[in-house]
Amino acid sequence: MKDILFVCQANIGRSQMAEGFYNFLTHSDFATSAGVVDVRAKVNNALPPEAVTVMRERGVDISHHQIKLLTPEMCQEARKVVVLCDRALCPTFLLKLRRVVFKPVKDLSAYQLQAARKVRDEVEQIVYSILAS
């Protein structure tokens, strides 16, 4: 069982960053992440280099992370689910859970370093607030 599941649209940016920060800060592998849209084939199953680069700037290596598609089982196994994308993108099985928290963060779809840094900083603050509570 994972303590926390971070969810975003494609699992190539926001949720991967959150998983990386959480596991780095807790010296664990208690977090995982997933996306609500399957983009693995479209992006050749790789995270954008900008996401990897800006996380390395904080000392967190997410280069080994795999893109995962959200399943009902993942939601059931997590003690807490944090959704980082728009609620409208979420499947019904996710919306029905009581342990879901919505913390939308703008998508880094522009894939520019400055935009990725801004997203990273926002995700980092969310993870810190979760750990503080």
Q: Which residues are catalytic?
A: 8, 85, 90
Cβ atoms within 10 Å, residue 41: 7
Alpha helices, DSSP H only, in the chain? 14-26, 49-56, 72-77, 92-95, 113-132
Q: How far apart are CA 1 and CA 10, in angstroms?
A: 22
Q: With contact defined as beta carbons under 8 Å apart, do 54 and 111 qualify?
A: no
